[in-house]
Structure 1
Amino acid sequence: MPELLTGAARDERRAAVADLGDALRELVDAAVRTEVDAGGLAAAAAAARELAAALRADGRGLHEVASVDDPVAGERWYSPVYGPGSPVAPPLLVESEGRGRVVARVTVPKALEGPPGLVHGGTIATLLDHVLARALRSAGRGGLTATLTVTYRRPVRLGVEHVLHAEVGAVEGRRSTARARITTAEDPGTVLAEGEGLFVALRPEAVAATFAGVDHTPEAWTARP
């Protein structure tokens, strides 16, 4: 079981994780764009498997939290949405504006393409879901997604900087709602997609069952005392 790091040790490892994540995202982008011949593909596959074997020399299980994570704050360094160490994260950069509001920026790469030149609809939903949850967290609320409604209004294009805004709506007991929208950075007045979510914070007695086998309790998704 990896020990959660803090202080300078965590900062040092996070920097190394982010550097590897950057390199792997470059590799993923190259892999989905390449048109090298079959021999070049075979050589690349062999090199990739050699690298995978080196990284597996010291790993963690499916339910073990990464040593660079912060389960209390909900910081996931390998999140597929924003994780600096994830080879598939766009990555989404989120800033809290306080009082249940966040703004995020993202440029979606070729690896997350749906129709040619356009962002996959599932990726759009994922980005909206994440900023909705982050808006709740900025308001001191926890919760898992209960429902998510996405309205696709216009195409969301690859390689274009997009801005997402999210804010908390109604709050009642363990239940919270939030709304979000996506625009381009160049045209913030034109909404491309919208999301509305309902989030429910876990009761303390439900945490053990929901996160069975997880080695560190992810408190960010539980009801606040």
Structure 2
Amino acid sequence: MGEDPAAPHRSHAGGGPLPEGRPTSEEGPSSREERRAAVGDLGAALRELVDAAVRTEVPVGELAAVAATARTLAERLRADTRGLHDVAAVDDPDTGERWYSPVYGPGNPVAPPMAAESTPDGRATGRVTLGKPHEGPPGLVHGGVVATLLDHVLARAVRAAGRGGLTATLTVTYRRPVQLGVALLAIAEVGTTEGRRTTASARLVAADDPGTTLAEAEGLFVALRPERAAAVFAPTGRDVAAWTTRS
């Protein structure tokens, strides 16, 4: 995805506009793959930090010292930031690939992250193991996180089948408690399509017990008309195709 001349510009520490996706490093421009590798490495390190932060019982003084260090590191990253609606240089919005997705994004420290794959017949599978950062009741995965995982594989199945769309309705049925630290599979398949509306269903199971459903979901996805998508995603300054009507 080359540079889009219509894309919003962002400012860097030295002042003035910086084209979307251009690094400020004195080492010069880097490829998208190089940047993705660095983003993924930082994301993994931050996930380790998040896990440590929600499990630690170190003394109060050490908590204060680490907080101060974290704020210093945050200031370093803020030396060059994009706007709230700007698309990251590592993303591909035409295919729906989001490197900072809260579900699977390698660069997002709140993402588990889920490893997902799909096939053109409208099936998708996500693999994930959840720890303390996603805990609800003690020892159990938060129900909202379960819903989020199911929503993602549903959408991925719909997109794999060649249908764009945003979630219109999501109905989740929780069958059994979902334990932390258990390898999970989220399995989805596309259902029926009528005009811009597509249905899909999904199940969440333990990888070592795929016959027992922990939670299941039914979703309805509505593809945006091109003109509506243009209005919805106008703040990004990009032509976003992954959530629109497909021919």
TM over 0.5: yes
TM-score by length of 1: 0.96
State the match for 2:246 in structure 1: 224
Shift of 1:212: 3.2
Structure number having the greater helix percentage: 1
Would the aligned equivalents of 1:4 and 1:69 in 2 still touch at CA under 8 Å?
Answer: no
1-side partners of 2:92 and 2:194: how far apart? 27
Equivalent residues in 2 for 1:104-143, closer than 5 Å? 104-143=126-165
1-side partners of 2:232 and 2:160: how far apart? 23
RMSD between aligned residues? 1.2
> Could you report, residue by residue, the CA deviation over 1:139-188 in whole angstroms, capped at 9, with x for unpaired residues?
11100000000000001111110011100000111000000000001101
State the match for 2:14 in structure 1: none
Equivalent residues in 2 for 1:41-60, closer than 5 Å? 41-60=63-82
State the match for 1:15 in structure 2: 37
What percentage of aligned pairs have identical amino acids? 70
State the match for 2:6 in structure 1: none
State the match for 2:124 in structure 1: 102
Q: Which amino acid letter does the alignment assign opposite residue 109 of structure 1?
A: G
Structure number with bigger Rg: 2
Would the aligned equivalents of 2:120 and 2:162 in 1 still touch at CA under 8 Å?
Answer: no
The secondary structure found in structure 1 opposite 2:128 is strand
TM-score by length of 2: 0.88
Higher mean Cα deviation, 156-165 or 201-210? 201-210
Show structure 1 runs of 5+ residues with no match: none
In the alignment, is residue 83 of structure 1 matched against residue 105 of structure 2? yes
Q: Which amino acid letter does the alignment assign opposite residue 11 of structure 1?
A: E
Shift of 1:204: 1.2
In the alignment, is residue 202 of structure 1 matched against residue 237 of structure 2? no
2-side partners of 1:215 and 1:124: how far apart? 32
In the alignment, is residue 176 of structure 1 matched against residue 198 of structure 2? yes
Instruction: Extract structure 1 runs of 4+ deviating beyond 2 A.
Output: 1-5
2-side partners of 1:28 and 1:197: how far apart? 31
